[in-house]
Amino acid sequence: MTLVDLSAQAAKSCRSNAALVLKAAPKGSLAIEVTGAPVQAFLTGSAAEWDLVFLDPPYELGAAELVRNLEQLVPRISADAVVVIERSSRDPEPAWPDGLELEKRKDYGDTTLWWIRPR
């Protein structure tokens, strides 16, 4: 599992929570990596492939930057991956890049979740 957050405070909280989870998990059954890098730098430098991705970018992140992040993500997800994106319900639906398609949308008050899959 990899957690990526540019905020130093959020990354610190992720590390603390990861330590608690690892302490409770059977020894060697789980690995958690936390990085404080910008997501685009992380995606550019990673060769990993993921089955599950949860994106919770800051609400002020522009639509074009979100699409760039998704474009970088496409070649790094497995064929049966699930990607969940959290955004403000006031934001329009993102323009899905080639390789991704919308599976489901669910609104929760001021928050919208989109489930997308590889095409």
The answer to whether residues 31 and 57 belong to one domain is: no
The answer to whether residues 72 and 108 belong to one domain is: yes
The answer to whether residues 25 and 60 belong to one domain is: no
The answer to whether residues 53 and 85 belong to one domain is: yes
Q: What residue numbers bound the domain in which 73 lies?
A: 46-119
The answer to whether residues 62 and 116 belong to one domain is: yes
Run of H or E residues at 42: helix 39-45
Mean pLDDT, the chain, rounded, equals 92
Domain harbouring 80, CATH code: 3.40.50.150
The answer to whether residues 58 and 22 belong to one domain is: no
What is the C-alpha to C-alpha distance for residues 62 and 60, in angstroms, rounded to an integer?
6
The answer to whether residues 109 and 61 belong to one domain is: yes
> For the chain, what is the domain count?
2
The answer to whether residues 78 and 28 belong to one domain is: no
What is the C-alpha to C-alpha distance for residues 114 and 49, in angstroms, rounded to an integer?
20
Q: Are strands 50-55 and 33-35 parallel, antiparallel or unpaired?
A: unpaired
The answer to whether residues 56 and 14 belong to one domain is: no
Q: Give pLDDT tens digits for 45-96.
A: 888 899 999 998 877 788 889 999 999 999 999 999 999 999 999 989 999 9
The answer to whether residues 57 and 79 belong to one domain is: yes
Mean pLDDT of 18-32: 93
